[in-house]
Structure 1
């Protein structure tokens, strides 16, 4: 290995211009792929095609209709929606909503299809027509009717009559001939028009279309805000730590070239950028600093000893090649194991970062030393004070090894104990913070109406026309009533409510007849008569399948989280198993598949983490050529993740999709400092013949400052990511930051005591 290290150093110095120009050219060629990068704002991006819950949802949508929605909420400042001006606004907004691009259906208080009997005929009409001319008595009658309709209550209006909703169904063409931004802009324009026209109303805008738009806005927002902050922070750290203009320029070039190479290769590969993978530039920027810092610190160390620049560069390559290769490959392996993730965006994130990290390795070993050989480089400050700090730290750890060792054991056990408090839960609406207007609107909807979390049930009768069977209808109605009795449920939408209302209408609107018809033919006649009177766009195709063998029942809840949603769905299946085994099915919907994704992702990522651990362990053992040392190194590499999870358990408890990839992602990152410390320790033992204590001192003095600077860079980079308005990125950044902080504590205090104990056993 030493011959290879020396050969590379000689080659870099001898062919410096070739390396500089050649690698610049290859970086620009790779970066050319950035023009092919596209962004995805589909909320279903987190689910692979093989995801069984997604397949079930798509089957449901093929049976009925595949829709997304735009949801307006109107809350008059007076607290009463049953006022003439407010009803006018509802009527106007309903009419205008039909004009939104790809609008297929609009449901509101004004166009609610109110049924009533007139002699032997069934009259079906809009609940509100010509609001500006309604009398007080007519408004009072509308209020009484609306608050008595289970299909409206908590769905279109709240129980107090203070909030109402207008829901616009959007059907996107399967051929992709639509522009989500066009729909989003049209919805926002209508929202602004309503606010300007009706200043006495508070108007909110949310829905699936707005959520998808937010998924597109999140990466753009992070790139505009977080990347400049991260770049500025790295520049500050580099300048402060290196105190060299040329070294700073060289390091900035490395992180820029690594980032554009990773993104460019992603573009050439056709990878689509999503909110989760959009933080790849921040991660690459952060990780690319580490290799450069280690190489530069050694160069300056050698030059301060009087070594000429070219010789110092060669020595730095000789000393750092092995640990830099190990750390880069280990980091890449950690991110590549994210391909085990069930969520495609995390696979893309892992692949982009892995390419950026390997690019950083090449640029750090070949480009930066060659560039420094060309540029004038001077050491401008004596670092003896900094070395004294790490020297004092080394003396403290060596002399107090036993109490330090047991203190670290206690710290590890205490922090890790919090893992027992961790539980799986996600609220996909809360993936976005309150800086996103749709999030505020969604919270408002969850507070006053049904909310956006739903479970759809495809209830099959088993025969054509079977939905008219009185026994089937009674079972469906009992199922709906069971859900209404559950504390988590706000609203249940089922056609049995329509059937009961029709039966009442056809019996002179006698309340005693608000019940299901007892004859199959009668039920079929009622349903046919009702459908014939429905206006265009308000049919029941979204509720009844073509051959009338099944209906779609929708259960809506406020934002209760994935754990509660899954529990509710399980209890629903159990009810069907006991009361209607022939109708037993799984609940579906976006809420359900988002609820399953965290558990599926954790299960799949555990496999990836095990593989990463095995590969990294083998690399460490082979590279260090010491089985005991290689195995020992795993302790400070694995423990930080457990400690971070423990702290999260103590402080938060809830973990979701973002945290599910954390172990695999950080395993390769935290290896960095451990490898460099052990490498210097081993070099002191073998090359300089030092005993264990002096080898620990040597490691602290030669690599302590570089570990400190790289840790600051990593903490800064991932710390900046924790300020993302997109929760998945924020949680990922925060958990990684905590892990890295624990990693340096272990490397400075726990690892040296382990090394000293290992030597005492040999």
Structure 2
């Protein structure tokens, strides 16, 4: 690379700064177009098969996205005048929830019973304040025996009740509506909490999950990013011991982030739970470039050069490594385009842009700033033997390299073995930390009523009024019975229970008639009579489509992992294909969408990693101008991820959606250390040094910079562990581990490996 254009920053710093800041302002101005989306649909492409199935199901039946309000009386008795009054009042108040389309609760459940030749349809609880002990016992007996209530709106012990608010959200960005609904529900329950202090309230449901995605991402952006910012600057100031260099780096960080987010705004991108991490990643990667330039400059000044000479020396020494590491890091992040999750691709693209901005600014604006800022370094005597900590560590590695190499190989083999303990398994409710209200609410719901995860099955008959056909009703009934037998399922809501109840009612509540009608006309008449008696908002559109050609069976399953959910769907599809080949079955739900995307995403990311590895390897061979060194570099680039996932296998063993991208993401980052170490090593070899002297030179010239950049990068990503959102916190934790392991590999494995396998007297 030609240094002429780089020397312009040293010789004409003011001109470079004026042009640079003008271009940065134009790029950053696009940030005004950014907006935030927190709904779960941002995780899926518009043509995602599971998303299409879910949207098709919602088009046939009423939408069942909503909020669940869980009521837990301290007395442990739902069937009391006070608690039933609360449920009745809250049910009526919930009708004012924005975008609400249906309210289901214990009080407004449409109970049917026979009175002579008439069928009575009425609310299960009509006026809770007037109930007598006998009435309470009757309501309790009905509720705990009704399959459409048990494990859905009432717990088996009768100690917890649920109110479901179904909402009709518009297509596209749903964040404003989600916030409005959540704020309304929270304000409403706060009011009832004040009036009924003997009760606890919990909130779950898809809307609350969307709200949690939004709120946690916003909190991360407002709290974790500034904390990381301050931490990184503090570390730099302490380790580099130069205020001017720290301030210059601070400006590079700010401009890199501003330009990156501005480009995102110009291209119509939005912020999400994934892309809010872009400033964090750009910040840490920008710091690494700056540290190498400043550290090498300080190294030159300690050797007796003046600031200008040292800066030109640093630029000449680091221009190629910084360019190559920026290119490899960008390649690593760009492979996130192989991900099946759109916002992960956005994360990769924006971070790749940020890395390139950081590279450009660190090679142009940073030198210009340094030339204008005062920096003084005390020169050391030419023959000084006062070795620093890194140099002394390098000497120890050189002396013991024959023992260190086999030891590191044993550690690597063990780590690779433990890496096979990892399993890809996603539980969407576990994305949130145990301390968060949403996670606590979902766990409370699972312990007392049912899991929050839903899985809906739509059965299409292909003919008008096909559901009323006796043989189709028999299939729906048999399938519902099979679903109830599955250990993963807590509750099944099916229209056949309504048909059987109506048949019993129309035969004077004779229990022997609690079975499906025998003919199509009778079934249709019973259903028509029932629907005509239902109040507004409590129709059967959640179970039946308008033409009665399809029905939806809604199930609540335990909050289990993605593998179990996909296996349950496969078992259901297998049963249905074997027992009802003439009917069509479709399964869909947000939980199922996440389960499938987790499975598919890992396979896609493995392909992306292979592509990244091939591109990065070719780039390293070109940069180092040595096929041998390029081949050697593959080992220290692959080992950190293997060891890191081995450590994760011991620590957790569960790989979620966020961790599935770590391999591709870190591959580009960990190359940085290897490139800088090998470039200095090769520089010494070209100048006639043997392998041992070249390793010594690499430790002396770049060892301290590698230690500082690793500390900064690992600290930066580790701060993400403070996030209550598991996708971010666990991604930060594993990335931090791999970055630390990468330094250990470059300091303990790579030097001994070079001294053993690169013994030629001069590097060609």
TM-score of Structure 1 vs Structure 2, range by shorter chain: over 0.9
| 1:161-176 mapped onto 2 (5 Å cutoff) | 161-174=158-171
Contact kept? 1:147, 1:161, Cα under 8 Å: yes
Contact kept? 1:243, 1:381, Cα under 8 Å: no
255, 258, 262: which one pairs with 2:256? 258
- The answer to which of 383-392 and 429-438 deviates more is 383-392
Q: Tell me the residue number matched to 1:232.
A: 230
Is residue 20 of structure 1 aligned with residue 17 of structure 2?
yes
Q: Output one character per residue of 1:602-634: Cα deviation in whole Å (capped at 9) or x when no partner.
A: 121122111111111111001111001011101
Task: State how far apart, in whole Å, the 2-side matches of 1:721 and 1:320 are.
Answer: 29
Q: Tell me the residue number matched to 1:217.
A: 215
Deviation at 1:382, TM superposition (A): 6.8
Q: Output one character per residue of 1:393-443: Cα deviation in whole Å (capped at 9) or x when no partner.
A: 222222222221111111111111122212121111111113432221111
Q: Output one character per residue of 1:475-530: Cα deviation in whole Å (capped at 9) or x when no partner.
A: 11111111111111100010000111111111111112111111221111111111
Q: Tell me the residue number matched to 2:696.
A: 697
| 1:73-88 mapped onto 2 (5 Å cutoff) | 73-88=70-85
Task: State how far apart, in whole Å, the 2-side matches of 1:37 and 1:175 are.
Answer: 16
Q: Tell me the residue number matched to 1:583.
A: 583
| 1:269-668 mapped onto 2 (5 Å cutoff) | 269-379=267-377, 387-668=387-668
Q: Tell me the residue number matched to 2:116.
A: 119
53, 58, 66: which one pairs with 2:55? 58
* Gap change, CA 1:140 and 1:380, over 3 Å in 2: farther
Deviation at 1:387, TM superposition (A): 4.2
* Gap change, CA 1:133 and 1:258, over 3 Å in 2: same
- The answer to which of 263-272 and 78-87 deviates more is 263-272
Contact kept? 2:459, 2:586, Cα under 8 Å: no
Contact kept? 1:416, 1:647, Cα under 8 Å: no
Contact kept? 1:569, 1:586, Cα under 8 Å: no
3-state SS of paired residue (1:117): strand
Deviation at 1:301, TM superposition (A): 1.0
TM-score, normalised on structure 2? 0.97
The unaligned stretches of length 5 or more in structure 1 are none
Q: Output one character per residue of 1:213-267: Cα deviation in whole Å (capped at 9) or x when no partner.
A: 1111122100121112111111111111111111111111111111111111111
Q: Tell me the residue number matched to 1:713.
A: 712
Q: Output one character per residue of 1:446-474: Cα deviation in whole Å (capped at 9) or x when no partner.
A: 11112221111111223221111112111
Task: State how far apart, in whole Å, the 2-side matches of 1:507 and 1:553 are.
Answer: 26
Deviation at 1:197, TM superposition (A): 0.9
Deviation at 1:381, TM superposition (A): 8.9
Contact kept? 1:244, 1:380, Cα under 8 Å: no
* Gap change, CA 1:86 and 1:380, over 3 Å in 2: farther
* Gap change, CA 1:477 and 1:43, over 3 Å in 2: same
* Gap change, CA 1:217 and 1:376, over 3 Å in 2: same
Task: State how far apart, in whole Å, the 1-side matches of 2:538 and 2:23 are.
Answer: 59
Task: State how far apart, in whole Å, the 1-side matches of 2:275 and 2:728 are.
Answer: 9
3-state SS of paired residue (1:629): helix
Contact kept? 1:214, 1:436, Cα under 8 Å: no
Q: Tell me the residue number matched to 1:90.
A: 87
Is residue 743 of structure 1 aligned with residue 742 of structure 2?
yes
Deviation at 1:35, TM superposition (A): 1.4
Task: State how far apart, in whole Å, the 2-side matches of 1:382 and 1:273 are.
Answer: 50
Deviation at 1:9, TM superposition (A): 4.0
Task: State how far apart, in whole Å, the 1-side matches of 2:613 and 2:545 are.
Answer: 50
Contact kept? 2:690, 2:759, Cα under 8 Å: no
Contact kept? 2:160, 2:448, Cα under 8 Å: yes
* Gap change, CA 1:175 and 1:42, over 3 Å in 2: closer
Deviation at 1:680, TM superposition (A): 0.3
3-state SS of paired residue (1:698): helix
3-state SS of paired residue (2:190): helix
Deviation at 1:386, TM superposition (A): 8.6
* Gap change, CA 1:638 and 1:83, over 3 Å in 2: same
Deviation at 1:175, TM superposition (A): 7.7
TM-score, normalised on structure 1? 0.97
The unaligned stretches of length 5 or more in structure 2 are none
| 1:77-226 mapped onto 2 (5 Å cutoff) | 77-174=74-171, 179-226=177-224
Deviation at 1:274, TM superposition (A): 0.3
| 1:724-735 mapped onto 2 (5 Å cutoff) | 724-735=723-734
Task: State how far apart, in whole Å, the 1-side matches of 2:102 and 2:516 are.
Answer: 27
Contact kept? 1:488, 1:557, Cα under 8 Å: yes
3-state SS of paired residue (1:272): coil
Task: State how far apart, in whole Å, the 2-side matches of 1:84 and 1:581 are.
Answer: 50
Deviation at 1:758, TM superposition (A): 2.4
Task: State how far apart, in whole Å, the 2-side matches of 1:11 and 1:438 are.
Answer: 55
Deviation at 1:390, TM superposition (A): 2.1
Q: Tell me the residue number matched to 2:758.
A: 759
Contact kept? 1:67, 1:172, Cα under 8 Å: no
* Gap change, CA 1:381 and 1:137, over 3 Å in 2: farther
Deviation at 1:582, TM superposition (A): 2.0
Task: State how far apart, in whole Å, the 2-side matches of 1:72 and 1:678 are.
Answer: 60
32, 42, 46: which one pairs with 2:29? 32
Q: Tell me the residue number matched to 1:671.
A: 671
Contact kept? 1:114, 1:127, Cα under 8 Å: yes
* Gap change, CA 1:281 and 1:382, over 3 Å in 2: farther
3-state SS of paired residue (1:722): helix
* Gap change, CA 1:387 and 1:56, over 3 Å in 2: farther
Contact kept? 2:169, 2:177, Cα under 8 Å: no
Deviation at 1:584, TM superposition (A): 4.7
Task: State how far apart, in whole Å, the 1-side matches of 2:576 and 2:380 are.
Answer: 77
Task: State how far apart, in whole Å, the 1-side matches of 2:14 and 2:541 are.
Answer: 70
Task: State how far apart, in whole Å, the 1-side matches of 2:584 and 2:400 are.
Answer: 66
Contact kept? 1:47, 1:343, Cα under 8 Å: yes
Task: State how far apart, in whole Å, the 2-side matches of 1:654 and 1:375 are.
Answer: 49
Task: State how far apart, in whole Å, the 1-side matches of 2:695 and 2:591 are.
Answer: 54
Deviation at 1:36, TM superposition (A): 1.2
Task: State how far apart, in whole Å, the 2-side matches of 1:648 and 1:560 are.
Answer: 21
3-state SS of paired residue (1:153): coil
Task: State how far apart, in whole Å, the 2-side matches of 1:314 and 1:605 are.
Answer: 40
- The CA RMSD over aligned residues, in Å, is 1.6
3-state SS of paired residue (1:515): coil
- The answer to which of 560-569 and 140-149 deviates more is 560-569
Task: State how far apart, in whole Å, the 2-side matches of 1:381 and 1:270 are.
Answer: 51
How many residue pairs end up in the alignment?
Answer: 758
Task: State how far apart, in whole Å, the 2-side matches of 1:696 and 1:219 are.
Answer: 44
3-state SS of paired residue (1:524): helix
